[in-house]
């Protein structure tokens, strides 16, 4: 009888996959993991940037109770939480590690309810934690990424607007899905590259143009559907060419002219909303957009690298409790 071959395990390039289970169960390991990932193995002071820093110790020579560091440059104390989305949070860092991993390793995201069940935190804490992680995933407004170029597809979609259960029993328009109650999300994607998306109030040239101006470079080839908002926007952003597909008459592709890439992004985003989160309020929708954009833009890297990218994104961002709940 031939000997059985040992099963082949795909070699994961990042060691994060092996470190994460330990970091999720042990606070010391979680702190160590976040310190190494946040500072890329060169610990530095978040206040002055000095790398002449040391770990504070307790009497027994172990780590100080709050895992603090001291900077020899500015003589101040800090910890891995200082100047990040975890500052002002009392949630143990092992739960942060778990939530970062969960959010970055599943394509359709993770709900606060699931985090609640798996960590034992309250729902309120779990929701707050997830909103902060989504903020860590958002592009840093101080260092915006380069604009989209080459071939760029732009489109918009409508989210929500499902009538309340009480209204569904009413006669007439009350029970219909209302176009007015839907929230519009505009998005642009560079073919083979990154995506940008934002909530816009209306699909008109007035609202589409500033969105495209902010995210799309001049001289690109723009592909859209035949909506009347886009010709003006294309002219305003100085697009080299503007091609449209006539969705109204059943045309979805004409050679290379299609908006299938952006439709693909919207498809993923909607499956995430319907499959994982079920109902998302308009005021928090932008956070879910940031998450979907982050996952899409990091689709080419493995789960470990994506988790590290999100942890690095936590740098320089703080979100106060009130902002997280109301904004
Ligand atoms: Zn310092």
Model confidence over 281-318: pLDDT tens digits? 888 899 999 999 999 999 999 999 999 999 999 987 76
CA angle 101, 55, 143 (to 5 degrees): 50
- The dotted CATH code for 151-300 is 3.30.420.10
Calculate how far, in angstroms, residue 44's C-alpha sits from the geometric centre of ligand 1.
8
Each residue's pLDDT tens digit, 250-274: 888 888 888 999 999 999 999 999 8
More confident position, 327 or 223: 223
Calculate how far, in angstroms, residue 53's C-alpha sits from the geometric centre of ligand 1.
8
- pLDDT above 60 for 141: yes
The size of the chain, in residues, is 327
Calculate how far, in angstroms, residue 310's C-alpha sits from the geometric centre of ligand 1.
24
Calculate how far, in angstroms, residue 42's C-alpha sits from the geometric centre of ligand 1.
14
Calculate how far, in angstroms, residue 108's C-alpha sits from the geometric centre of ligand 1.
39
Calculate how far, in angstroms, residue 77's C-alpha sits from the geometric centre of ligand 1.
8
Calculate how far, in angstroms, residue 306's C-alpha sits from the geometric centre of ligand 1.
29
Calculate how far, in angstroms, residue 85's C-alpha sits from the geometric centre of ligand 1.
19
Calculate how far, in angstroms, residue 37's C-alpha sits from the geometric centre of ligand 1.
19
- Phi first, then psi: what are they for 157, rounded to 5°? -140, 160
Calculate how far, in angstroms, residue 322's C-alpha sits from the geometric centre of ligand 1.
29
Calculate how far, in angstroms, residue 80's C-alpha sits from the geometric centre of ligand 1.
13
pLDDT at 180: 63
CB-based contact 224:259 (threshold 8 Å): yes
- Phi first, then psi: what are they for 78, rounded to 5°? -155, 170
Distance (Å, rounded) from C-alpha 315 to C-alpha 136? 8
Calculate how far, in angstroms, residue 30's C-alpha sits from the geometric centre of ligand 1.
23
Calculate how far, in angstroms, residue 73's C-alpha sits from the geometric centre of ligand 1.
5
The string of DSSP codes covering 186-220 is EEEEETTS-EEEEEES-SSHHHHHHHHHHHB-TT-
3-class SS string, 17-79: HHHHHHHCCCHHHHHHHHHHHHHCCCCCCCCCCCCCEEECECCCCCECCCCCEEECCCCCEEC
Give Cα 115 distance to the centre of its chain.
17
Residue in the structure block whose two tokens are 């804490």: 125
CATH 3.30.420.10 range(s) for the chain read 151-300
Question: How do strand 221-225 and strand 195-200 relate by DSSP bridges?
Answer: unpaired
DSSP character at residue 163 = P
Edge-to-edge strand ranges of the sheet holding 241-245: 195-200, 183-190, 151-159, 221-225, 241-245
Calculate how far, in angstroms, residue 56's C-alpha sits from the geometric centre of ligand 1.
14
Calculate how far, in angstroms, residue 304's C-alpha sits from the geometric centre of ligand 1.
30
Distance (Å, rounded) from C-alpha 251 to C-alpha 246? 5
Calculate how far, in angstroms, residue 33's C-alpha sits from the geometric centre of ligand 1.
21
Q: How many CB atoms lie within 10 A of CB 32?
A: 18
- pLDDT above 90 for 167: no
pLDDT at 6: 56
Classified as helix, coil or strand, 221 is strand
Classified as helix, coil or strand, 264 is helix
Calculate how far, in angstroms, residue 292's C-alpha sits from the geometric centre of ligand 1.
35
Distance (Å, rounded) from C-alpha 74 to C-alpha 155? 49
Q: The tokens of 30 are what?
A: 């979680």
DSSP character at residue 277 = I
Each residue's pLDDT tens digit, 106-138: 888 899 999 999 999 999 999 999 999 999 999
| pTM of the predicted model as reported, rounded to 2 decimal places | 0.87
CB-based contact 195:188 (threshold 8 Å): yes
- pLDDT above 50 for 327: no
Q: What is the mean pLDDT of residues 149-163?
A: 88
CB-based contact 95:116 (threshold 8 Å): no
User: For residue 223, which of 252, 265, 184, 181 has the smallest C-alpha distance?
Assistant: 252
Calculate how far, in angstroms, residue 35's C-alpha sits from the geometric centre of ligand 1.
16
Query: Which residues are bridge partners to 69 per DSSP?
Result: 55, 78
Calculate how far, in angstroms, residue 82's C-alpha sits from the geometric centre of ligand 1.
12
Per-residue confidence band for 319, with pLDDT thresholds at 50, 70 and 90: low
């Amino acid at each position: 009888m031939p000997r059985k071959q040992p099963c082949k395990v795909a070699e994961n390039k990042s060691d994060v996959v092996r470190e994460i289970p330990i970091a999720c169960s042990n606070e010391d390991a979680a702190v160590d993991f976040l310190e190494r990932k946040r500072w890329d193995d060169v610990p530095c002071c978040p206040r002055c940037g000095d790398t002449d820093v040391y770990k504070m110790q307790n009497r027994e020579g172990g780590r100080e109770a709050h895992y603090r560091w001291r900077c020899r440059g500015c003589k101040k104390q800090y910890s891995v939480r200082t100047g990040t989305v975890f500052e002002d949070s009392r949630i143990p860092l092992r739960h942060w590690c778990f939530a970062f991993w969960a959010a970055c390793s599943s394509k359709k995201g993770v709900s606060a309810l699931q985090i609640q069940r798996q960590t034992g935190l309250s729902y309120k804490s779990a929701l707050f934690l997830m909103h902060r992680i989504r903020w860590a995933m958002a592009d840093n407004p101080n260092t915006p990424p380069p604009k989209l170029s080459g071939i760029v597809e732009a489109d918009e979609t409508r989210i929500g607007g499902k009538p309340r259960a009480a209204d569904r029993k009413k006669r007439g328009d009350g029970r219909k899905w209302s176009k007015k109650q839907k929230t519009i999300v505009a998005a642009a994607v560079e073919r083979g590259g990154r995506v940008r998306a934002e909530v816009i109030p209306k699909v008109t040239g007035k609202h589409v143009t500033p969105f495209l101006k902010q995210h799309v470079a001049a001289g690109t080839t723009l592909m859209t559907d035949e909506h009347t908002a886009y010709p003006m926007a294309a002219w305003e952003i100085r697009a080299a060419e503007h091609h449209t597909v006539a969705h109204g008459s059943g045309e979805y592709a004409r050679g290379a002219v299609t908006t299938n890439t952006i439709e693909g992004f919207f498809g993923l985003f909607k499956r995430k909303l319907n499959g994982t989160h079920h109902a998302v309020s308009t005021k928090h929708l932008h956070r879910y957009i940031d998450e979907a954009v982050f996952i899409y833009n990091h689709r080419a890297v493995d789960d470990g690298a994506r988790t590290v990218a999100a942890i690095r994104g936590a740098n320089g961002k703080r979100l106060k409790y009130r902002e997280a709940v109301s904004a």
